[in-house]
Amino acid sequence: MAHEPAQTEAGKAEHHGHGAGRYWLVWAVLLACTGLTVYTGHYHPSIVVALVIAIFKASLVVLFFMHMTEAPGTNRLVFSVSLVFTMVLMLGVFGDLLTRNPMSLPGGAPPSEFHAAP
C-alpha cells in the first residue's frame, strides 16, 4: 500500500516519456480544423464535410487529450459501444422516417426521393 516515492518518480519519468509538446500540437491542429470547418461551412456548406471534420477533431481529443491511446481495452470498448448504440438509435429512427407513408411525416413534407406505397 505504501509507495516508494523515489522509485515511483523515476518510473514516472520513463512512463510519461512524452512531454507537453504533443498537447500543444493537437491544440494547433484542432484550431486549424475549426478554421477549416468555419470556412467550408460558410462558403461551401455540406453536412458531410462538417461531420468528417468534427469526427476528426473529436478523435484527436479522445485519443490524445483523453489518453485513449494509452487506455486499457475495456475503456476503449466502453466508449466505442456507447457510440455504436447512438448510431443504432439514429439508424432505427431515421430508417423509419425515410420509409414512412408521406402523410405521416413531420410537416407532411414528402421525403426527398423515396415515396412509400400508400
Partner 1 sequence: MSQPSQLSTEHPDKPVIPAVNYLNADRGVWSWLTTIDHKRIGVMYLVSVLIAFLLGGIFAMALRLELLTPGPTIMGANTYNRMFTLHGVVMIFLFMIPAIPGVFGNFLLPLMLGAKDVAFPRLNLLSLYLYWTGATLALSGMIMGGTDTGWTFYAPYSTTTPMTLFPVLLGVFILGFSSILTGLNFIVTVHTLRAPGMGWMRLQLFVWAIYATSIIQVLATPVIGLTVMLIGIEKVGHFGLFDPSRGGDPVLFQHMFWFYSHPAVYIMVLPSMGVISEAIAAFARKNIFGYKMIAYSSLGIAFVGFFAWGHHMFVSGQSSLDNGAFAAISMLVGVFTAIKVFNWVATLYRGSIAVKTPLVYICGFLFFVVFGGMTGIAVATVSLDVHWHDTYFVIAHFHFIMVGAVIMAFLIALHYWFPKMFGRMYHEGWGMVAASLIVLGFNATFIPQFLLGNAGMPRRYYIYPERYQALNVASTAGASLLAFGFLIILIYLIYALVRGPIAGDNPWDSRGYEWMTTSPPPKHNFDVTPVITQDSHSYQEPGEEVEHVVI
Partner 2 sequence: MSSSEGGLTKPHLAHHFETIEKQDYAVRLGMWLFLGTEVLLFAGLFLGYTVYRHFYYEAFHQASRHLALWAGTTNTIVLITSSLSVALAYHAIKQNKKKQCAALLIFTILCAFVFLGIKAFEYREKFLEGALPGAHYHFAEVTAPGANLYYTIYFLSTGLHAIHVIVGMSILIWILARVLKGEFSATNYVPVELGGLYWHLVDLVWIFLFPLLYLI
Instruction: Using CB under 8 A, list all residues that contact partner 2.
Output: 1-3, 5, 8-9, 12, 16, 20, 23-24, 26-27, 30-31, 34, 37-38, 40-42, 45, 47, 50-51, 53-54, 57-58, 61-62, 64-67, 71-72, 74-75, 78-79, 81-83, 85-86, 89-90, 93-94, 97-98, 105-107, 109, 111-112
Q: By C-beta, is 48 or 89 nearer to partner 1?
A: 89
Q: Does 107 bind partner 1 (CB under 8 A)?
A: yes
What's the burial of 113, exposed, middle or buried (CB within 10 Å: 0-12/13-18/19+)? exposed
Q: Which residues contact 63 (CB under 8 A, 6 or more apart)?
A: 69
Count Cβ atoms below 10 Å from residue 3 Cβ, excluding itself.
Answer: 9
- The whole-angstrom separation of Cα 30 and Cα 26 is 6
Which residues, numbered 86-105, are part of the site for partner 1 (CB under 8 A)? 88-89, 92-93, 95-101, 104-105
